[in-house]
Amino acid sequence: MLLRTRGIRNLVLTGITTDVCVHTTMRDANDRGFECVLVEDCCGATDQANHDHAIKMIQMQGGVFGAVTDSGSLLQRLEAL
């Protein structure tokens, strides 16, 4: 509710663990109508395979839950705004 009252529609997700907390937050935010992007190199999991699998799940869905980017690409886009 707080995000909506402030007019926020887009979320940038980072943190740990990619395969549980971050992924679940992304799916929930998407279900609530937010546009989401996960910053892959700003997330981590208990092991690399879990991280990679969570990223692959997002990408395989064709953007249903959101997008995946890296921090360099995100910063370039933000600077261009």
Q: Is 35 a member of any domain?
A: yes
Q: Is 52 a member of any domain?
A: yes
Give one DSSP letter per residue of the chain, joined into a string.
-HHHHTT--EEEEEEE-IIIIIHHHHHHHHHTT-EEEEEEEEEE-SSHHHHHHHHHHHHHTTTSS-EEE-HHHHHHHHHH-
Q: Is 48 a member of any domain?
A: yes
Identify the burial level of 11 via C-beta atoms within 10 angstroms of its C-beta, where 0-12 means exposed, 13-18 middle and 19 or more buried: middle
Query: pLDDT tens, position by position, for the chain (81 residues)?
Result: 799 999 999 999 999 999 999 999 999 999 999 999 999 999 999 999 999 999 999 998 778 889 999 999 999 999 998
Q: Is 79 a member of any domain?
A: no
Q: Is 19 a member of any domain?
A: yes
Residue 24: predicted pLDDT: 96
Q: Is 75 a member of any domain?
A: no
Residue 61: predicted pLDDT: 73
Number of domains in the chain: 1
Query: CATH number of the domain that 44 lies in?
Result: 3.40.50.850
